[in-house]
């Protein structure tokens, strides 16, 4: 079957894969975008969220991007206070 990208004149083999963490164990990609993997650090999901976040970030060979909503007391909550400097 012909690749859909080659049908539109684009480079063959380029595609975006959207899947769950459980489906990409053992697979790595150049870029990984991790969405909704944070949870409060004091709840029953604390260890599961930390594991999911680690697994998502380590799928990336070059760039890992974490997209998340602001969750009070979440693993990524400290990022709301991080400021870049021109240094």
pLDDT tens for each residue of 6-60: 455 556 677 788 888 888 888 888 888 888 888 887 777 788 888 888 888 898 9
The predicted structure's pLDDT at residue 6: 43
State mean pLDDT over 61-68: 88
Output the pTM of the full model: 0.63
CA distance linking residue 8 with residue 85, whole number of Å: 43
The predicted structure's pLDDT at residue 5: 45
Work out the pLDDT band at 63, boundaries 50, 70, 90: very high
- Give yes or no for a contact between 39 and 74, defined as CB atoms under 8 angstroms apart: yes
The predicted structure's pLDDT at residue 11: 63
82's CB contacts (< 8 A; 6+ apart) are none
Q: Which of 61, 1, 85, 52 is nearest to 74 (CA)?
A: 52
């Amino acid at each position: 079957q012909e690749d859909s990208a080659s049908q539109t004149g684009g480079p063959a083999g380029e595609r975006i894969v959207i899947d769950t963490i459980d489906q990409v164990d053992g697979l790595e990609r150049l870029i990984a975008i991790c969405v909704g993997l944070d949870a409060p650090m004091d709840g029953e999901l604390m260890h599961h969220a930390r594991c999911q976040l680690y697994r998502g970030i380590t799928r990336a060979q070059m760039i890992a991007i974490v997209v998340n909503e602001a969750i009070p007391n979440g693993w990524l909550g400290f990022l709301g206070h991080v400021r870049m400097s021109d240094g």
